Structure 1
Amino acid sequence: MVIYSVFVVNKAGSLIYHNDHSSSRPEVEKTFGFPLELTLKLQDERLLVIFGQRDGIRVGHTLLAINGEDVSGTKLGADNERNVMDVLNDPSNYPISIKFGRPKLSSNERIMLASMFHSLFAIGSQLSPEPHSSGIEVLETDAFKLHCFQTQTGIKFIVLTDPRQGGVEAILHRLHELYADYALKNSFYALDMPIRCELFDTSLQAVLEQAEKSGVYSGV
């Protein structure tokens, strides 16, 4: 079982904590002939696959390397002098080996996505046909589940896991306990501000590791 990441969002929708617990991101390397069968687009300084997914290469994957040389944005190699698209559009460079994978989120992207989920959570509550909806608790895809627990004070604890991971509700409530014990009771912590506490970090790590090893978390 895998727990991918943890986010804590304050009542205003600002990201105040994140932990990338599992940095494992599947990568796919394949040799292509000319012309390239995938459509790429530059987005946020990354070349992304937008059409033609195949053989484990998915829409949204980032171009990571060409013939073993790392790609940085649109530049190739350690000297960053060669343009990736020029290389891909030159028939003499084929056959060519290209590596793709999921991009690692930047700090700005995490902040933006946390704010977007905060808004989506509010929309979900407003769309509820019944009053006093708890909002979005689980979003499920074929690759992961997003679990959310909102406290009475509006703090949201979000955990992304493998779809088979069990005991996530207990993990969320334990995170709330750790937040109360190590953040709120810390005289140097300002409410709703970023959490920077070593005890919180180490305790959270222990909870996530226990849950991954057993496949289910039943409490500490």
Structure 2
Amino acid sequence: MTIYSLYIFDRHCACIYYQDWHRAQRPKPAVAGNLLQGVARAVTQQPTTALSQVEFTSPRNTLNYSSGVVVAIGEPSPAAPPIPAKTPPVSTVPMSKLSFDEEAKLVYGVIFSLKNMVQKLSGRDESFVNYRTSGYKLHVFETLTGYKFVMLTDPVTDSMRFVLRQIYTGPFLEYVVRNPLIAMDSKERGVDNEHFRQATDRLLRSLSIFSKNS
């Protein structure tokens, strides 16, 4: 048993937080403009590096900046040996075919549809809390203020509703709701607070079902 990912949606249907652990596929960054800022660094499209911030190295440097000695044109500076290019680490985890904003919309759409179906078939007193497929199990906890905490786990995992409630009554209230620097319901930013992220990570890692090999 294991935990795959955690989503938090606000009452405007927008994904305001995301975190994952044992996903089989890396989330593909969201399309620019289709996701709130501050949801998660892993799924936010990174801006292109500004031209002024790029460091250039040319063999035609004519001045040694450390000593002020003029160097012959066409020769590299003796005090500035060429810096080998750094090769970015290659991840062995395959990337999802969907961009994260599309993925989040699908997750919310499933919750919305199943919640409506349960209410229409069973009445207002019944609530949708989870469903299971052959590949995963989806768990939902909704607060009175309309925030939806959604977790994807291994399909054989027991209900995680109590854990989602713990995240809400613990780290979320402490580091998000009571944090004056976070604008709730801003419709512009997510809640990627580092203290909240670390506290949520510690809480889930302390569970016996967190281990990928359990």
Give your verdict on TM over 0.5: yes
Residue 114 (structure 1) shift? 4.0
The reply on whether 1:215 has 2:209 as its aligned counterpart is: yes
In structure 2, what is the equivalent of residue 205 of structure 1? Answer: 201
Q: Is the 8 A contact 1:148 1:159 kept in 2?
A: yes
Residue 191 (structure 1) shift? 1.3
Q: What are the ranges of 5 or more consecutive residues in structure 1 without an aligned counterpart?
A: 26-100
Which is strand-richer, 1 or 2? 1
Residue 104 (structure 1) shift? 5.6
SS at structure 1 position matched to 2:6: strand
In structure 1, what is the equivalent of residue 96 of structure 2? Answer: 103
Runs of 4+ aligned residues of structure 1 deviating over 6 Å after TM superposition are none
In structure 2, what is the equivalent of residue 186 of structure 1? Answer: 179
SS at structure 1 position matched to 2:96: coil
Aligned length: 140
Larger radius of gyration: 2
User: In structure 2, do the counterparts of structure 1 residues 165 and 115 end up closer, same or farther at CA, with 3 Å as the change threshold?
Assistant: closer
* Range 170-179 or range 151-160, more displaced: 170-179
Q: Is the 8 A contact 2:139 2:159 kept in 1?
A: no
The reply on whether 1:162 has 2:154 as its aligned counterpart is: yes
In structure 2, what is the equivalent of residue 123 of structure 1? Answer: 116
Mapped to 1, the partners of 2:138 and 2:4 lie a distance apart of: 10
Q: Counterpart amino acid of 2:99?
A: S
User: In structure 2, do the counterparts of structure 1 residues 12 and 117 end up closer, same or farther at CA, with 3 Å as the change threshold?
Assistant: farther
TM-score by length of 1: 0.56
Mapped to 2, the partners of 1:11 and 1:125 lie a distance apart of: 19
Q: Is the 8 A contact 1:5 1:159 kept in 2?
A: yes
Residue 102 (structure 1) shift? 7.2
Q: Percent identity?
A: 27
The reply on whether 1:149 has 2:150 as its aligned counterpart is: no
Q: Is the 8 A contact 1:14 1:114 kept in 2?
A: no
Q: What are the ranges of 5 or more consecutive residues in structure 2 without an aligned counterpart?
A: 26-93
SS at structure 1 position matched to 2:206: helix
After superposition, the CA RMSD in angstroms is 2.6
